[in-house]
Amino acid sequence: MRALGADPSTAAVALHPGDAISTPRRTVYIILLGALTALGPFTIDLYLPAFPVLQEDFRTSAAAIQLTLTGTMIGFALGQLIVGPLSDKVGRRIPLLSVTALHVLASFAAALAPSLELLSGARVAMGMGAAAGGVVAMAIVRDLFGGRRLVVMLSRLALVSGVAPVIAPLIGSALLSVMSWRGIFVVLAVYGAVMLISAIALLPETLPRARRHDRGATTVLQRYQSVFRDRVFIGVLIIGAMTFSGLFSYLSASSFLFQVTHGLNAQEYGVLFAVNSIGVVVGVQTASRLAARFGPPWMLAFSTAALFVAAVAIILTDQLGLGLWGTVVPLFFFMTACGFTFPCVQVLALDRHGKAAGTAASVLGACNFGVAGLISPVVGWIARDAGITATTMASVMVGCAAIGVLALWLIVRPRTAGRLAP
C-alpha cells in the first residue's frame, strides 16, 4: 500500500494500514485501546486495599480472600483463550462488545453478593468479561502496524498493562475512603459500560474479511499450532508468565504486608503503589526506545537479570532487619525491571504472528494471568503460620525470576531469535 501525495514517485511507502492513519486518529486509538487494556488490571486489582475489610466482613481467612483474586485471574485467562481465536475468526468488534457487556453485568452482581461464594463466582465472570480489552487491543495494533512502529504502539499498551495493576490499589484506597468495598464494584461496572459505549461509537473493525479465511488459519486448532510451534514464542510466553507471577505475588501479598505487618493505613498503602508506578513507567518508556535499537531479546537479557537481583535484594534487606525502606527500595527496582520486560515480550510474541494476532495475544495474556493466578497464592500458603513477610513474598518472586532467566537463554536464545519484521 502506498500513501500518495502530490508527487507519487516520492511518496512514502506504507507497509501497514496504520502507517496512513493521521496523528489525531492514532491518538484516539491509543487512548481508547489503552483504556480497554486497563479494564483487566483494574478489574483484578482495584479491590486489593479492601482485602482486610473483606476478611472482616465475611469472617474468613486471608487465604480465602486471596482466592477471590485467583478466581478473577483464572477467569481472565479463560476468557482470553476464547476471545482471541474468536476475534481472528469473526473479527474484533463482536467478541469485544459481547464480553465487555458480560463484565458490566458481573460487576453489578459482585457489588450485590451476600456471601463470599457468590462474590467469588461473580469475580470469575468479571475476569472473563474483562478479557476482551487487552487481547483485542493488542490484535488491533498488530492489524494496523508492524516493525518499529509496532514496538512504539505496543509499548503504549504495555505501559498501561504495567502501570494499571500498580496504580489500581491507589485508586481503590481513595475510593474506600468515600465508599464501601461494594462501591468499588459499582465503579468497575460504570467503567465497563463507558468502555462498551466508546467501543461501539469509536472503534472500527480492523480485521479485513479476507484475512478471516486465510489458508492455514481457518480453524482454532491451526492458529494455536502456528504459535506453539514457534520456539521464540514459547520462550517469551514463559518469561511473560513468570514476570506477571512475580508482580502478582507482590500485589496479592502487599495489602497484608504493608497494612498489617508494617501498619500503613489504606491511603499510605496507596501512595506506596503510586511511587512504584513511577518505576514501571520509566521501564516501559526506556524499553520502547532501546528495543528498536538493540532488539527486544537483548533488552530481556537485561530485564530478567534485574528482576532476579532485585528479588534477592528484598530477601537480604528483610533478613538484615532494614524495615519498610529495606523492602521498598529494591521493590522499586523490581517494578522498573517489570516495565522493561512487558513491551519486549509483547513485541516478540506478536511480531512473528500477524495472521494469528488475536490467538497469539490471547495465549500470551491467558498464560500471564492464569499462571500468575495459580502462583500468587503460594505466598499466603508459605506464610500460613508465621504471617506474610517480605521474605516469604520475595521467595516466590526469586523463583519466578530465575525461571524467566532460564527461559531466555535456553529457549529464546537471543543470538538466534532474529530481527523484527519490517
**Helix/strand/coil for 2:** strand
Considering 25-29, 64-68, 193-197, 389-393, the range whose residues carry the highest mean pLDDT is 193-197
Full DSSP string of 169-217: HHHHHHHHTTS-HHHHHHHHHHHHHHHHHHHHHH----S-GGGGG-TT-
Name the residue with higher pLDDT: 113 or 154.
Answer: 113
Range in 6-10, 27-31, 383-387, 396-400 with the lowest mean pLDDT: 6-10
Length of the chain: 422
Share above pLDDT 90 across residues of the chain, in percent, rounded to a whole number: 26
Could you tell me if 110 and 73 are in contact, meaning their C-beta atoms sit under 8 angstroms apart? no
169/274 Cα distance (integer angstroms): 9
The stretch 211-235 carries a mean pLDDT of 73
Residues 284-327 have pLDDT tens digits of 778 877 876 778 888 899 999 999 999 999 999 999 988 888 98
Share above pLDDT 70 across residues of the chain, in percent, rounded to a whole number: 86
Q: Give every CB contact of residue 22 below 8 A, 6+ residues apart in sequence.
A: none
Residue 22: pLDDT band (50, 70, 90) is confident
Residue 20: pLDDT band (50, 70, 90) is low
Q: Which helix (H) or strand (E) holds 366?
A: helix 357-375
The stretch 342-359 carries a mean pLDDT of 77
Could you tell me if 284 and 158 are in contact, meaning their C-beta atoms sit under 8 angstroms apart? yes
Question: What is the pLDDT at residue 408?
Answer: 94
- Residue 367, all three cell numbers: 498464560
Residue 419: pLDDT band (50, 70, 90) is low
Question: What is the pLDDT at residue 307?
Answer: 96
Question: What is the pLDDT at residue 6?
Answer: 45
**Helix/strand/coil for 13:** strand
Angle CA 59–63–67, to nearest 5: 100
Could you tell me if 341 and 304 are in contact, meaning their C-beta atoms sit under 8 angstroms apart? yes
- pLDDT exceeds cutoff 50 at 273: yes
Considering 22-31, 32-41, 88-97, 238-247, the range whose residues carry the highest mean pLDDT is 238-247
Range in 5-14, 131-140, 410-419 with the lowest mean pLDDT: 5-14
Give, as one character, the DSSP assignment of residue 259.
Answer: I
Q: Which helix (H) or strand (E) holds 331?
A: helix 323-351
Name the residue with higher pLDDT: 40 or 399.
Answer: 399
How many CB atoms sit inside 10 A of residue 64's CB? 15
Question: What is the pLDDT at residue 227?
Answer: 83
Residue 258: pLDDT band (50, 70, 90) is confident
The stretch 369-387 carries a mean pLDDT of 74
The letter for the amino acid at 105 is L
393/408 Cα distance (integer angstroms): 23
- pLDDT exceeds cutoff 90 at 188: yes
Mean pLDDT, the chain, as a whole number?
81
- pLDDT exceeds cutoff 80 at 251: no
Q: Of the candidates 136, 145, 153, 105, which has an alpha carbon nearest to the alpha carbon of residue 203?
A: 136
Could you tell me if 66 and 376 are in contact, meaning their C-beta atoms sit under 8 angstroms apart? yes
411/318 Cα distance (integer angstroms): 33
- Residue 201, all three cell numbers: 461509537
Question: What is the pLDDT at residue 185?
Answer: 94
- pLDDT exceeds cutoff 80 at 356: no
Can you give the C-alpha Rg of the chain in angstroms?
21
405/302 Cα distance (integer angstroms): 10
Question: What is the pLDDT at residue 407?
Answer: 95
Question: What is the pLDDT at residue 385?
Answer: 65
How many CB atoms sit inside 10 A of residue 13's CB? 9
Residue 171: pLDDT band (50, 70, 90) is confident
Question: What is the pLDDT at residue 10?
Answer: 41
